[in-house]
Amino acid sequence: MIYSGTLLKINGIAIPYLKEYKVLRAKLWKDAERNMEGEIRATFIGLFPKLILRMNYMDEDQLAALTQLLDKSQFSVEYFDVRTQGIHTADYYASDYTVGLLDKSRGLYEPFEVSLVPISARRYT
């Protein structure tokens, strides 16, 4: 089944400027060590799906609206999860990101990358 819906919403607002959308399925462990046979012993804390986004060219108004969402300390994110083939909602925060002016006379900004980092582990049932 090919998903045809909105890939990403932040605080209920669809983000239409996506050029690339990647999900880093980061596993977090604690007390990880290897014994003399090379076997790992660790406690699995959970899966933390980080969303890596590459935004497209934007004008000043589009960028202003997006930065108002990303600059909050945390926000609700709805994203497509390929594992469940559906939408998942969780709390996230945005990593640092750099915004570059491409053309001042047209108010056009360069594409940029930002990561959305989950506040807590993703639980699957």
Helices (H), the chain: 60-70
Q: For every residue of 53-74, which 3-state class applies, written as one string? A: EEECCEEHHHHHHHHHHHCCCC
**Spatial CA neighbour of 65 closest among 17, 5, 7:** 17
The whole-number pLDDT of residue 104 equals 95
pLDDT, one tens digit per residue, over 24-47 is 999 998 888 888 888 888 888 999
Strand ranges, E, within 1-125? 8-10, 13-14, 18-34, 40-55, 58-59, 75-81, 86-94, 101-103, 108-109, 112-118
Average pLDDT of the residues of the chain: 93
- Report the largest interatomic distance among the alpha carbons of the chain, rounded to a whole angstrom: 64
**Spatial CA neighbour of 3 closest among 86, 77, 79, 84:** 86
The secondary structure element, H or E, covering residue 75 is: strand 75-81
Average pLDDT over residues 18-24: 95
Q: What percent of the chain has pLDDT over 70?
A: 98
What is the CATH T-level fold of the domain 8-118, as seen in this structure?
Elongation Factor Tu (Ef-tu); domain 3 (2.40.30)
- Tell me, yes or no, if the pTM score tops 0.95: no
Least confident of 1-10, 61-70, 103-112: 1-10
The whole-number pLDDT of residue 38 equals 83
**Spatial CA neighbour of 66 closest among 29, 23, 111:** 111
